[in-house]
Amino acid sequence: MGALFSFVVVILLILLAYVGVAAVGMQSFFGIVIPYVAVLVFLVGVVYRVIKWGKSPVPFAITTTGGQQKSLEWIKQAKLDNPSSSTGVVGRMALEILLFRSLFRNTKSELRDGRLAYGSGKWLWLAAMAFHWSFLIVLLRHVRLFETPVPSFVNLLESLDGFLQIGAPRLFLTGVILLLAVTYLLLRRFYVRQVRYISLAADYFPLFLIIAVASTGILMRYFFKVDIVSVKELTMGLVSFNPTVPAGVGAIFYVHVFLVSTLFAYFPFSKLMHAGGIYLSPTRNLANDSRAVRHVNPWDYPVKVHTYDEYEDEFREKMIKAGIPVEHYPAPSPEELEKEFGDKDAGVPAGKEE
Amino acid sequence: MYNGGKILLGIFVFLALATYPFYNNIGKANARPEPSTDTPAIQKLAQKKCIEPEAFMKSEHMQLLNQWRDAAVRDGNRIYVAGDGQRYDISLQNTCMKCHSNKKEFCDSCHNYAGVSPYCWDCHLAPKEGK
């Protein structure tokens, strides 16, 4: 249901942009207004989400440990899986962000002869790596549309990406890998029953959207052929705040831009914010030094307490009168002392004296 | 905010990277390149037209060149029959570059602008141009 809903929404988005440009002629709306709004929503939204997270306290040191803790000198510490210093944390975060180390530990479970069996499940990790890295390279390749002259690292990326020299324009491997990987991630949600059970529209929508973005991009480059010089004229107009809509850019370009804009605007309010959230994961970014450093809960609220001592101070007399034992008996007044001990001082009973 | 320094630094880096194209290009004029067809060979032509219509050449020239490469080098076919029935010699240097002898003002103007680096000249000799 979630899948069908997401699919229909993406199709509607495509139709909306296509009809808006091809039939109604709203090029400047889909080519200028929407991208500006989307980028603004993206930037403000991401900053808002991160600051909101930053305001959340971490009550406990809840670092996830995956190896031997720092202990006695002769016990080897797993410095990356159980870091005790900031350097170790940086190393662990880098591995997590660049190589998805914890996803590498992914397991799958299945029933075998009536018994639950667990095994290593690396396909998700492989597809996630392929997907994210391809997406990054695809994104960086697009810098060619936003910088004049084109930075040399973009040319280098393009020559590496197209090094197989298939066809003209050269086939970019990352485009193909991106589409294959995201298709795997989608099919996984369809065919792995446990995953399908927990999949929601919010899981399917980004996948369909990214598939649509990649497909329109590939169609535009290899099949429908938009005029790249006019496209760059438009994109350079956007980044120089001098927007223009060149004539003769195909509708597929506006569909692509509209889908990308949707992705950007949707980003801060969705699961896609894991891109920013991973940096703020307490289980990852805390050092496991809870035996060496006290983690003070910043959330400790100044609670108004009434300790037992204060309670006893308040009710001591009544407690004594009621015969309840108290911790601190009141110091007796001179009169009481005299009453209690005065006679003794005056003299003991005559009979007892020796 | 907790760990405000680190988080704000992260936000700053994110914003600096994400908005780089904007503050790097703000206010810059961006004129689109106009590939020049002003060469002596083209001036001499009675009818100034390429082997196929301009729109086709604009969007499909790379594919056409790729087909020419395959036809000439792999199949040994050196004759191209254009859409209007005219026959042309399949040769980058002797057909294309005969008219478009100004590689810098013609090919490179758009290719550099769009960050395209075709590998034609890995094998072919680029025409010598007086500067």
Verify that A87 and A198 share a domain, yes or no: yes
Residue A16 is assigned to a structural domain of this protein: yes
Question: Does the pLDDT at position A352 exceed 90?
Answer: no
Residue A298 is assigned to a structural domain of this protein: no
Contact A81, A67 (CB under 8 A): yes
User: Residue A313 belongs to what H/E stretch?
Assistant: helix A308-321
Q: Mutation test of the interface with chain A: which of B56, B92, B96, B113, choosing the one with the most A Cβ atoms within 10 A?
A: B113
Query: Letter for the amino acid at A178?
Result: L
Mean pLDDT for all residues in chain A: 91
* Residue A161: other Cβ atoms inside 10 A: 20
> Of the candidates A235, A250, A285, which is a domain's last residue?
A285
Residue A236 is assigned to a structural domain of this protein: yes
Please tell me the predicted confidence (pLDDT) of residue A275. 94
Verify that A157 and A83 share a domain, yes or no: yes
Residue A69 is assigned to a structural domain of this protein: yes
Cβ of residue A333 closer than 8 Å to a chain B Cβ: no
> Residue A13 and residue A297: Cα distance in Å, rounded?
46
Pick the residue with more confidence: A349 or A271?
A: A271
Residue A292 is assigned to a structural domain of this protein: no
Residue A117 is assigned to a structural domain of this protein: yes
Verify that A51 and A89 share a domain, yes or no: yes
Cβ of residue A58 closer than 8 Å to a chain B Cβ: yes
Instruction: Assign A300 a pLDDT band (cuts: 50, 70, 90).
Output: confident
Cβ of residue A239 closer than 8 Å to a chain B Cβ: yes
Instruction: Assign A281 a pLDDT band (cuts: 50, 70, 90).
Output: very high
How many structural domains comprise chain A? 2
Pick the residue with more confidence: B124 or A134?
A: A134
Asked whether the beta carbons of residue B27 and residue A168 sit closer than 8 angstroms, the reply is no
Asked whether the beta carbons of residue A169 and residue B116 sit closer than 8 angstroms, the reply is yes
Verify that A189 and A117 share a domain, yes or no: yes
Verify that A84 and A208 share a domain, yes or no: yes
The residue-averaged pLDDT of A55-77 equals: 91
Instruction: Assign A346 a pLDDT band (cuts: 50, 70, 90).
Output: low
Verify that A263 and A136 share a domain, yes or no: yes
ipTM confidence? 0.90
Asked whether the beta carbons of residue B18 and residue A167 sit closer than 8 angstroms, the reply is no
Cβ of residue A287 closer than 8 Å to a chain B Cβ: no
Residue A271 is assigned to a structural domain of this protein: yes
Verify that A228 and A322 share a domain, yes or no: no
Please tell me the predicted confidence (pLDDT) of residue A35. 97
> Residue B8 and residue B14: Cα distance in Å, rounded?
10
B90-116 burial code (b ≥16 CB/10 A, e <16):
bebeebbbebbbbbebbbbbbbbbbbb
**Structure token pair of residue B97:** 């570059």
Kindly report, residue by residue over A34-62, the tens digit of the pLDDT: 999 999 999 999 999 999 999 988 888 88
Residue spans of alpha helices (H) in chain B: 4-18, 20-25, 40-44, 54-69, 97-99, 107-114, 120-123
Task: Give the minimum alpha-carbon distance from A336 to chain B in angstroms, rounded to a whole number.
Answer: 58
Verify that A343 and A271 share a domain, yes or no: no
Please tell me the predicted confidence (pLDDT) of residue B32. 87
Verify that A319 and A253 share a domain, yes or no: no
* Residue A204: other Cβ atoms inside 10 A: 22
- The boundaries of the domain holding residue A314 are 308-352
Verify that A225 and A345 share a domain, yes or no: no
Asked whether the beta carbons of residue A240 and residue B25 sit closer than 8 angstroms, the reply is yes
Question: Does the pLDDT at position A269 exceed 90?
Answer: yes
> Residue B4 and residue A53: Cα distance in Å, rounded?
11
Verify that A113 and A163 share a domain, yes or no: yes
Residue A227 belongs to a domain with what CATH number?
1.20.950.20
Asked whether the beta carbons of residue B15 and residue A43 sit closer than 8 angstroms, the reply is yes
Please tell me the predicted confidence (pLDDT) of residue A345. 53
Verify that A248 and A138 share a domain, yes or no: yes
Residue A340 is assigned to a structural domain of this protein: yes
Task: Give the minimum alpha-carbon distance from A323 to chain B in angstroms, rounded to a whole number.
Answer: 51
